Structure 1
Amino acid sequence: MSKLEEALMPIAGKISENRYLLAIRDGFMLAMPLLIIGAMSLLFANFPITGYGDFMKGIFGTGWDDFFNIPYNCSMALMTIFVVMGIAVSLSKYYDIEPVSTGVTALVCFFIVTPFWMNYTPKGTKSNFFISSIIPTDWLGSKGLFVGMFTAIIVTEIVRQIIHRGWVIKMPAGVPPSVSKAFSALIPAFFAMYAFNIIRLLFTYTPYSTVHMFIFKILQQPLTSLGATYPASVIANFFMQLFWIFGIHGSNVVGAVTQPLWYSLQAENLAAYQAGKALPHIVIQSYQDLFIQLGGSGATLGLCLSMIFLCKSEQCKKIGKLAIIPGIFNINEPITFGLPIVLNPIMAIPFIIVPLVLTTVAYFSMATGLVPRLSGVLIPWTTPPVIGGFLVCGVRGAILQIVELLISTLIYLPFLKVVDKSYYKEEQSVPAEAE
């Protein structure tokens, strides 16, 4: 155990302290309120109840769903815009440079490398039309996510280097701060914008034509395809749990790598759902949040219930009662550190096994069609089990969560009994020692 801890701690430390991964994570978090509102808007437009659409149409008439689709199109469908701003602002704060102007500069640079044209083929025809003076919204959504992340990081680094070298316009002391900030941002913004303009120009001489197409074909498509697989989900969950056993927040460490991929896949599912197309992916962020982490990392909600109703020791019962309410909302630090699971070789075994089993059950339930794939609607990870499953997959999603809750309980129970027996024995020996 100690040798494994010695091997993992440096790796976890480097990942969890990496400024770029932290900025990406925090950038997504800054954009999260808008993404959730947009995804929930699409859910209201396509609620998973038979007859819901006809019922709403009968009350509000044709086109009623535009009331919800427009907020979706202005938020979730434009997610890269918000993520670019979020990452640039987060990284700027890390460097202690002015975040707002850096975020705006990053957004402008993103638009510089984004094509203002598209090729369009109308349905039912073979004719291809070149349309200029427009921005294809595809590149503002999930398809442009990797370009957005790279742009935010590179622009922030350019701005930092320019400021570090003192290449800024410094105004006299009597000038208002707002004016001084505007002029100090001028030279860094100039360098960043024209650097990206040169990059845009260079890519017009390549077979890819744009930075977006190059990144999408060479990097984003292969990575997201890999991240969408069953083995990737198993490996990610294995390391999440392994880090947790040593008291390291595994979801934050591994999630810094997986979340950008899984959110991108989530957005692709949501776009397909809105268009009425087949959902392309099983493994997305909500799949992880709702079907693998029932009650938090390690799927410990069933463990909490077992501690309350099946344990003899007062210690287990009390910890279970304290942990059950947070556990319903997928927060499980009370049980992780209270039972404890951290540095507990007995409970570490099911803590690793349960998510891997649930990954297998959920993946193949969706792959075989027993349960529909997730629509891509992004609901808060704190949504209680059964409710969350219903919102993203309908009734069968709720049933799958119940089945998973039973499976996780059965796996945890034998190991919990060993711990409970030990605690109960200690409790019984206390009065005897006192006598």
Structure 2
Amino acid sequence: MSSKGSMKDKVMKVIGKISNSRHMIALRDGIAQAVPLIVIGSVFMIIGQFPIQGYLKFMAHTFGPHWNVVIQQITYASFDLMGLIAVIGISYNLTKSYGDVAPLPAALVAMCGFFLTIPFSMHKDGTFWIPLAQLGSTGLFIAIIIGLFLTDFYVWMVHKKITIKMPASVPPAVSDSFTALFPGFFCLLLVWVIRMGVSFTPIETIPNLMQYIFKPLSIVGTSLPGALICEFLVSFLWLFGIHGANVVSGVMTAIWLAAMQQNAVAFAAHKALPNIVTQQFFDNFVHIGGSGATLGLAIMMIMFAKSDEYKTLAKLEIAPAFFNINEPLVFGFPVVMNPFIAVPFIVAPLLNVLITYFAMASGIVAKTIGIMVPWTTPAIISGYLATGHISGAVLQAVLIAVDSLVYVYFFKKADKRKVQAQMENAKKAETQA
């Protein structure tokens, strides 16, 4: 094996280990716990901010001028709690992965640690005020750090037997509670010490510290070069059988969700939307058909396949492709370890990034309004919902056409090879008969 091939294998092995590590899996699965509630909150945001003036006037006339504030209380109780939900989900999944530590007490300790990072305000009557924004996407970075590192510290103390051991006759729920006592105490003490230490600096609060640390990453992550780099990595890793979207989203999801919520806040306040690159930018405009923008490939297969193999695969894949599920295509075509199809698999989504970015930056197409449209929503529908404007649906139609054109040459060449192989196999079968 050449040194070049050996180096490539080593790099891919390292990336594979990282993407399949317990911490990356816990991060991905933990944030995924927030998705259903984000979608629910987005539905009520749509109801309260549906971008048709006639509808808004009718609702205001029927239910009063503040009707949408009442409707969006569900949004505040779901969408705006994604950080809180994420820290519980990450901690729970990470603890569960160890197999010998009760996950629920650890998740509750992580939740308390997360609350402890938030700067409370005291009213004159002695009550505390918690800024809701810190429980949402604004606090997502802190939620990730607490969910991963504080949970590891908790598990380490349990493994080191820094616990209160109860008799076997004690019910598990009670026993787990006492097991969490000392680890929970030291975890919260650690967060409190960090909080107090930061309070004596000009930065003052942990949220301010996180903004200072991650500001460069957030700027890059929501820029055009950052979007292109991220998308290239998604496609490139998939070519080696590594779920590129999971690897990249493990790092970037917090940034894109925060950008999404900034747009949601601006949209609700009828202000200019600040961000182009959001979670919906990728889910609904770049990954049309899934990673690699493979809906275009699926359509070309349906239209032009001549080989029996691709005709059959096209019939199996076209329906999932419309719902952005492309694993049957990625592994059945295959795209993995196929240098010939690698070119359009990388180029198509990069073109989607460029076309979408400039279309939104120029104002030709509306930006995403911060509504969490499920990634399985079919194109055209998702484009309208994500932008609140028909221009989003039109853009998706254009992107599908572009992706199809990118794939058509490469698919026809691959299909021609399959037809030739099919004919050769038929001749061999006749000869043997």
Please give the TM-score of this superposition, normalised by the length of structure 2. 0.93
Q: Where does the alignment leave 5 or more consecutive residues of structure 2 unmatched?
A: none
Q: CA deviation at 1:401?
A: 0.2
* Aligned partner (choices 279, 291, 304) of residue 285 of structure 2: 291
Within 2, Cα distance between the matches of 1:143 and 1:102? 23
Partner of 1:106: 110
Who is 2:366 aligned against? 372
Task: State the distance in 2 between where 1:13 and 1:312 align.
Answer: 36
Runs of 4+ in 1 over 6 A off after TM superposition: none
Deviation at 1:254, TM superposition (A): 2.0
Return 406-415 or 34-43, whichever deviates more.
34-43
Alpha-carbon distance, 1:337 to partner: 1.6
Distance between the aligned counterparts of 1:57 and 1:165, measured in 2? Answer: 61
Equivalent position SS for 2:183: helix
Give the CA deviation at 1:12: 1.8
Q: Distance in 2 between matches of 1:423 and 1:383?
A: 32
Aligned residue among 399, 402, 412 for 2:407: 412
RMSD of aligned residue pairs (Cα, Å): 2.0
Asked if residue 310 in structure 1 is aligned to residue 314 in structure 2, the reply is: no
Aligned-pair identity (%) = 38
Residue 253 of structure 2 corresponds to residue 259 of structure 1: yes
Distance between the aligned counterparts of 1:414 and 1:39, measured in 2?
40
Q: 1:150 — aligned with what?
A: 145
For 1:19, the equivalent position in structure 2 comes to 22
Out of 70, 79, 82, which is 1:79 matched to? 82
Distance 1:11 1:265, change over 3 A: farther
Which range is displaced more, 309-318 or 342-351?
A: 309-318
- Corresponding residue of 1:173: 168
The alignment status of 1:397 with 2:392, answered yes or no, reads yes
Offset at 1:152? Answer: 2.0
CA shift, 1:162, in A, is 1.6
Cα distance 1:281–1:240, how it changes in 2: closer, same or farther (>3 A)?
Answer: same
Residue 88 (1) aligns with residue 86 (2): no
**1:126 corresponds to which residue?**
none
SS of the aligned residue for 2:129 comes to coil
Tell whether 2:273 aligns with 1:270.
no
Of residues 215, 238, 244 in structure 2, which corresponds to 1:244?
238
Secondary structure at the aligned position of 1:65 is classed as helix
| Alignment of 1:63 onto 2:58 | no
Q: What is the number of residues matched between the two proteins?
A: 424
Q: 1:428 is matched with which residue?
A: 423
Q: 1:282 to 1:297 in 2, by over 3 A?
A: same
Shift in alpha-carbon separation, 1:3–1:195, aligned structure 2, 3 A: closer
User: Within 2, Cα distance between the matches of 1:37 and 1:141?
Assistant: 14
Superimposed CA distance per residue, residues 43-73 of structure 1 (whole angstroms, 9 cap, x where no aligned partner) = 1211233422113234433332234300111
| Shift in alpha-carbon separation, 1:14–1:62, aligned structure 2, 3 A | same
- 1:331 has 2:331 as partner: no
> SS of the counterpart of 1:384?
coil
Query: How far has the Cα of 1:307 moved from its partner?
Result: 0.9
Query: Shift of residue 2 of structure 1?
Result: 4.7
Is 1:340 paired with 2:334? yes
- Secondary structure (helix, strand or coil) at the match of 1:319 reads helix
Shift of 1:5: 4.4
CA-to-aligned-CA distance 1:309-333 (integer Å, 9 cap, x gap)? 1222222222111100100100011
